[in-house]
Amino acid sequence: SWERADILKELKKQVKKTRFEHILRVEEKALELAEKYHADKEACQLAALLHDYAKDLDVKVVKKLQKEAHIDDEMLAYGSNVWHGPMAAYFAKEKFGITNPEILTAISQHTIGGREMSLVGKILFIADYIEEGRKFPGVKKARRLADKNIDRAVRYKVIQTLLHLVENEKKIYPETLEVYNQWV
Ligand code: DGI
Ligand code: FE
Ligand code: FE
C-alpha cells in the first residue's frame, strides 16, 4: 500500500499549490476529529489526502474515464464542483489501490454529502468544511458544532451549503436536495 510521502508526491503533481495546502489542513482536521469521535484514523487520513485529487483534472480526462468512474452525463454537466468527489474515488481505487468502501464512499460523497454517511464520511465532510484555512461566515458555529456533535455539524453544513448555492443562483444537483431532505 501507499506511503503518505508517496501520496503527497502524486498530489503535488496533480493539484494546484493552494489546493495542496488545503488538503494538508483537511488531513490535520480529519485526524483531530477521528481522535475525538474514535474513528479509524488511517481511514480518515487517507480519505482526507485523496478527497480533492480530481479537482483540477482536465474535463477531457474526465470524459474518457466517465463510464468507468460511474459519472453520468447529468453529473458531468454540473461541472467539477459536482464530479470531483466521484472522480477522486475512482482514482483512490484504481490508482492508489484503496479497497475500503468506507473510504471510497467518503471521498465520493465529500462535496454533496450523503443521505446515509459513515463516521469516516461525516468526518471528511466536516474536516473539509472547517479546516483552519476556511474563512466564511458561519465557520465558527460549524467548528463549535463539530466539537460537540458531528451529526449537528453535518446537518448545519448541508443546510448552509444549499442556502449559499441558492443565494448565488447556482444550479442544485438533485442529490444535493435529497441529502438536504434527509438531514433537515
Ligand atoms: O473541493 P473543495 O473546494 O474543498 O470543497 P467542496 O468539495 O465541498 O465543494 C466545492 C463546491 O461545490 C462548493 O463551493 C459548493 C459546490 N456545490 C456543492 N453542491 C453543489 C455545488 N455546486 C452546484 N452547482 N450544485 C450543487 O448541488
Ligand atoms: Fe472537494
Ligand atoms: Fe476539499
Note the pLDDT tens digit of each residue in 98-142: 999 999 999 999 999 999 999 999 999 999 999 999 999 999 999
Give the C-alpha separation, 62 to 59, whole Å.
5
CA of 86 to the centre of ligand 1 (A): 13
Side chain identity at residue 3, one-letter code: E
Establish whether residue 55 lines the binding site of ligand 1, counting it when its CB lies within 6 angstroms of any ligand atom.
Answer: yes
CA of 84 to the centre of ligand 3 (A): 10
Confidence at residue 1, expressed as pLDDT on a 0 to 100 scale: 79
Name the residue of 111, 136, 173, 178 whose CB sits within 8 Å of the most ligand 1 atoms, as the mutation to test its pocket.
111
For the chain, what percent of residues have pLDDT higher than 70?
100
Residue of the CA atom closest to atom 14 of ligand 1 = 81
Atom number, ligand 1, closest to the C-alpha of residue 173: 27
Give the C-alpha separation, 26 to 52, whole Å.
10
More confident residue, 23 or 1: 23
Residue of the CA atom closest to atom 11 of ligand 1 = 81
Domains of the chain and CATH, by start = 4-183 (1.10.3210.10)
Residue of the CA atom closest to atom 7 of ligand 1 = 111
CA dihedral (9, 13, 15, 17) in degrees, to 10, reads 80
Atom number, ligand 1, closest to the C-alpha of residue 125: 8
Contacts of 75 by beta carbon, 8 Å cutoff, 6+ apart? 82, 83, 86, 173
56-93 pLDDT per residue, tens: 999 999 999 999 999 999 999 999 999 999 999 999 99
Give the C-alpha separation, 141 to 155, whole Å.
12
45-59 pLDDT per residue, tens: 999 999 999 999 999
Side chain identity at residue 145, one-letter code: L
Pick the ligand that lies closest to the CA of residue 88: 2
Check if the beta carbon of residue 126 is closer than 8 Å to that of residue 157: yes
CA of 42 to the centre of ligand 1 (A): 25
Residue where the block lists cell 464520511: 121
Q: Does residue 178 register a pLDDT over 90?
A: yes
- The length of the chain, given as a count of residues: 184
